[in-house]
Structure 1
Amino acid sequence: MNKRNNHKELNLDELQNETLVVHADDWVTNDRTLAPAIYYSATFRADNAAEFAEMAGTPRHPQYYTRYGNPVHERVKKVMAELEGTETALVTGSGMGAIATTILALVSAGDHVIAQTRHYMSTAKIMDEMLPRFGVEVTLVEQADVSAFAEAIRPNTKLIMLESPANPTMVITDIAAVVELARPRGIIVVADNTFASPINQRPHDLGVDVVVHSATKYLGGHHDLTAGVICTSEELAERIWHTHISIGSVLSPMDAWLLLRGLRTLPIRVERINANALALAKFLEEQPQIERVYYPGLASHPQHELAKRQMRGFGGMIAFAIKGGYEKTQRFVSALKLSLNAVSLGGVDSLVVHTAAMWEGVMNEEQMRTAGIPSNFVRFSVGIEHIDDLKADILQALQVV
């Protein structure tokens, strides 16, 4: 056996994340190129009718039709399943593709869903508007209150949707406590792990059944792709996949390849981003123009101890409020030079948004209040720039407030 073939003998359970992201997908395909190939083919041929029937009848076949699967999808799925500690994974064309597909696959008319009052805005709209149209009841609860989850459970509760830390308020959910409520009742727990990434938090280790990601963010890491990932068991993956191929939220081979390339550097990027964010959050707390800073790594965060228990790092997302309201917040964001005023998060560049200005176009006032978004709220996605440069940029922008 040559040296390269020794990769077949790797025990992935013994490898650290930095090694997993480089080698977990070795030999997933028969491709012997060092840089993975991009299989830009919508469909794949069979050698005979019997082989075609086998391909057509195999769920998630990687070389039948790209809506069903693709060889580069297989590589991404293997890396993500290893990072999240699940049996398998699915990939989709966006993070919301992953979330919507998962929810629609697992609930039916007459079922009841429990979700948080604070979710990413599109997830919130699924709960507020889409599911009720299909005859699914939804109860929203305060995620920081475990007793609220317990009180919301009904005989027909089929799914609990979590997001921790929550976008954009950085509120933490006690994941293990919610799982303890759900498991004996057969309730499926889904967790959006986008803000944390699998480097900082593994919800499956805490008992979560399905972990979803907007891979557009930290997993890709360079603001150049749109993708989603669903990490779960083989049994639930097959259920979700059948809905996935009907909805058609397909990840293009090129975006899958870009995602795989982004995953190779995920641990080292997140390590730098974690350090930058903690330093920047502490720095912001010292500035007189800042009303409040929301970051789970700060001792001032009301759930700091919970965050320390269930997270290995606190991530790169910071929320803070500017003294003086909407107009001064607008001026601050506009004055930043290094931190780019753009949606999304989790990339190498620092990004900033005036949250109220971004969300008011898609959420009404009541939904904004429910989500806990005041008019002077800023969401800051910390990148890999030098921390001294980020601090200097914020200082000069605060001078206009």
Structure 2
Amino acid sequence: MTAFDPDWQTETLAIRAGIDRSQFGEHSEAMYLTSSFVFESAAQAAARFSNQEPGNIYARFTNPTVTAFQERLAALEGAEFCVATASGMAAITSCVMGLLSAGDHIVSSKSLFGSTVQLFSTIFSRFGIETSYVELSDPAAWEAAVRPNTKLFFLETPSNPLTETADIAAIAAVAHRHGALLAVDNCFCTPALQKPLQLGADIVIHSATKYLDGQGRVLGGAVLGQRQLLEPVFAFLRTAGPTLSAFNAWVILKGLETLQLRMDAHSRNALELARWLEAQPQVSRVFYPGLESHPQHELAMRQQRAGGGILTFEVKGGKEAAWRVVDATRLISITANLGDVKSTITHPASTTHGRISPEARAAAGITDGMLRVAVGLESLEDLKADLARGLAL
């Protein structure tokens, strides 16, 4: 890892970690757009391929720009090692394929991004890796689901879309008591607001597509933890190739420079908008960790620096009323992505969680009247007016 001061604060690490000026002295990070790297001799090529000499070989698994991103994100999360991937889903796939085998078992929260549920239930199951789903916030449920072949606990906190919060330390203790690993998807908080490894998790997963970029420009993902633990994950990436491109790595590196500023601003806007929504007569419930009404508010405020930028609310009148709110927006973008400076809105039951069964949606608490808003950095008065238009119909 490129040298940095471990006493630097998050804001400084997000700007300075991972920079290597040894070649040309660039002030900004260099972008290495090449598929392969040239060796000085046959002996050096052999040494690189046999891991006897460090250095770049082929951009599927070694690239200086990607390495800079990996080092910076690892510094932010307090991790020893980072494996960068082509997307957040590629990160989850690489993690499981690298660490688990046929016959192994996963315990996972019911409250997950819809594509993650599909990955666990319909793809990994074809390769003999079974998954049991439990209540995110109940450590006893995690304990009860453990089998002799359980190798991995997997959760999101806050969850998508209900922003449920898990006690990371308590669930980590359960996992470790049974010889399992705990992987935490930290997409909603990022290391600017929450550091799962410090709370006992073994692995952190990111969709860098979201807040780490922050502008909705590129796809990316990452798996972070101890180097020895993640060597099999890197080996999977090296062979299978779900690789982060150098260009995308460079874009996300620039996004990281403003991460702390953006996450603090997203959190302030989301808290005020959540409080405004709670006061609207057409809204039956608002889900946001920063609200005192949130069932895990106290826990969230212990684990997180702030509530984050995602809120979900339930409109009276079910799907028809929820769709009216969506269709009435003129400012907020109708898209299932999140993490941009631009606010977005989606109807989870028919988009992000539309491919899972109605029974699975009901078990996860996702109703037809629910809307998820990723609160951006626009004027709050404009955001309120945009939602009020649809709520008044």
Do they fold alike, i.e. is TM over 0.5? yes
After superposition, the C-alpha distances for 1:232-260 in whole angstroms (9 at most, x for unaligned) are 11112211111112221111111111010
Residue equivalent to 2:381: 388
Within 5 Å, which residues of 2 pair with 1:319-358? 319-358=312-351
Confirm or deny: 8 A CA contact 1:355 1:377 kept in the other structure: yes
Residue equivalent to 2:239: 246
The partner residue of 1:100 within 64, 84, 93 is 93
> How many angstroms apart in 2 are the aligned matches of 1:10 and 1:234?
17
> How many angstroms apart in 2 are the aligned matches of 1:105 and 1:25?
25
> How many angstroms apart in 1 are the aligned matches of 2:76 and 2:284?
37
Name the CA shift for 1:55/1:147 in 2 (closer, same or farther; >3 Å). Answer: same
Residue equivalent to 1:316: 309
Amino acid at match of 1:235: Q
> How many angstroms apart in 2 are the aligned matches of 1:184 and 1:25?
35
Mark the runs of 5 or more structure 1 residues left unpaired by the alignment: 1-7
After superposition, the C-alpha distances for 1:24-56 in whole angstroms (9 at most, x for unaligned) are 122276341112221110000100011111221
Residue equivalent to 1:235: 228
Q: The residue matched to 1:229 in structure 2 has which SS?
A: strand
Residue equivalent to 1:138: 131
Confirm or deny: 8 A CA contact 1:25 1:76 kept in the other structure: yes
> How many angstroms apart in 1 are the aligned matches of 2:181 and 2:314?
35
Aligned length: 393
Confirm or deny: 8 A CA contact 1:62 1:74 kept in the other structure: no
Amino acid at match of 2:23: N
Asked if 1:282 corresponds to 2:275, the answer is yes
Q: The residue matched to 1:161 in structure 2 has which SS?
A: strand
Name the CA shift for 1:311/1:360 in 2 (closer, same or farther; >3 Å). Answer: closer
Name the CA shift for 1:172/1:326 in 2 (closer, same or farther; >3 Å). Answer: same
Using the TM superposition, give the Cα deviation of residue 225 of structure 1 relative to its aligned residue in structure 2, in angstroms: 0.4
Residue equivalent to 1:4: none
> How many angstroms apart in 1 are the aligned matches of 2:221 and 2:299?
27
Asked if 1:121 corresponds to 2:114, the answer is yes
RMSD over aligned CA atoms reads 1.8
Using the TM superposition, give the Cα deviation of residue 11 of structure 1 relative to its aligned residue in structure 2, in angstroms: 5.1
Amino acid at match of 2:203: V
Q: Which moved more, 1:365-374 or 1:329-338?
A: 365-374
Using the TM superposition, give the Cα deviation of residue 136 of structure 1 relative to its aligned residue in structure 2, in angstroms: 1.8
Residue equivalent to 1:176: 169
Mark the runs of 5 or more structure 2 residues left unpaired by the alignment: none
> How many angstroms apart in 2 are the aligned matches of 1:90 and 1:310?
25
> How many angstroms apart in 2 are the aligned matches of 1:244 and 1:10?
25
Name the CA shift for 1:250/1:111 in 2 (closer, same or farther; >3 Å). Answer: same
Within 5 Å, which residues of 2 pair with 1:30-45? 30-45=23-38
Confirm or deny: 8 A CA contact 2:112 2:156 kept in the other structure: yes
Confirm or deny: 8 A CA contact 2:121 2:130 kept in the other structure: no
> How many angstroms apart in 1 are the aligned matches of 2:264 and 2:318?
33
Confirm or deny: 8 A CA contact 1:28 1:75 kept in the other structure: no
> How many angstroms apart in 2 are the aligned matches of 1:74 and 1:28?
13
Residue equivalent to 2:63: 70
Q: The residue matched to 2:368 in structure 1 has which SS?
A: coil
Using the TM superposition, give the Cα deviation of residue 16 of structure 1 relative to its aligned residue in structure 2, in angstroms: 1.1
Taking every aligned residue pair, what percent have the same amino acid on both sides?
38
After superposition, the C-alpha distances for 1:2-30 in whole angstroms (9 at most, x for unaligned) are xxxxxx99752211111111111222763
Residue equivalent to 1:363: 356
Residue equivalent to 1:112: 105
> How many angstroms apart in 2 are the aligned matches of 1:99 and 1:358?
20
Q: The residue matched to 1:83 in structure 2 has which SS?
A: helix
Name the CA shift for 1:135/1:29 in 2 (closer, same or farther; >3 Å). Answer: farther
Using the TM superposition, give the Cα deviation of residue 153 of structure 1 relative to its aligned residue in structure 2, in angstroms: 1.3
> How many angstroms apart in 2 are the aligned matches of 1:31 and 1:259?
21
The partner residue of 1:15 within 8, 19, 34 is 8
Confirm or deny: 8 A CA contact 2:334 2:344 kept in the other structure: yes
> How many angstroms apart in 2 are the aligned matches of 1:126 and 1:77?
25
Using the TM superposition, give the Cα deviation of residue 61 of structure 1 relative to its aligned residue in structure 2, in angstroms: 5.9
> How many angstroms apart in 2 are the aligned matches of 1:302 and 1:361?
26
> How many angstroms apart in 2 are the aligned matches of 1:61 and 1:122?
36
> How many angstroms apart in 2 are the aligned matches of 1:240 and 1:59?
20
Confirm or deny: 8 A CA contact 2:2 2:17 kept in the other structure: no
Name the CA shift for 1:52/1:205 in 2 (closer, same or farther; >3 Å). Answer: same
Using the TM superposition, give the Cα deviation of residue 367 of structure 1 relative to its aligned residue in structure 2, in angstroms: 2.5
Confirm or deny: 8 A CA contact 1:59 1:238 kept in the other structure: no
Confirm or deny: 8 A CA contact 1:62 1:70 kept in the other structure: no
Confirm or deny: 8 A CA contact 2:2 2:71 kept in the other structure: no
Within 5 Å, which residues of 2 pair with 1:50-69? 50-58=43-51, 63-69=56-62
Using the TM superposition, give the Cα deviation of residue 296 of structure 1 relative to its aligned residue in structure 2, in angstroms: 0.6
Name the CA shift for 1:192/1:293 in 2 (closer, same or farther; >3 Å). Answer: same
The partner residue of 2:80 within 87, 111, 115 is 87
TM-score under structure 1 normalisation? 0.94
> How many angstroms apart in 1 are the aligned matches of 2:164 and 2:54?
39
Asked if 1:268 corresponds to 2:270, the answer is no
The partner residue of 2:185 within 185, 188, 192 is 192
TM-score under structure 2 normalisation? 0.96
Using the TM superposition, give the Cα deviation of residue 147 of structure 1 relative to its aligned residue in structure 2, in angstroms: 0.3
Name the CA shift for 1:208/1:22 in 2 (closer, same or farther; >3 Å). Answer: same
> How many angstroms apart in 2 are the aligned matches of 1:360 and 1:35?
40
Using the TM superposition, give the Cα deviation of residue 372 of structure 1 relative to its aligned residue in structure 2, in angstroms: 2.0
Asked if 1:259 corresponds to 2:268, the answer is no
Asked if 1:307 corresponds to 2:316, the answer is no
> How many angstroms apart in 2 are the aligned matches of 1:301 and 1:276?
17
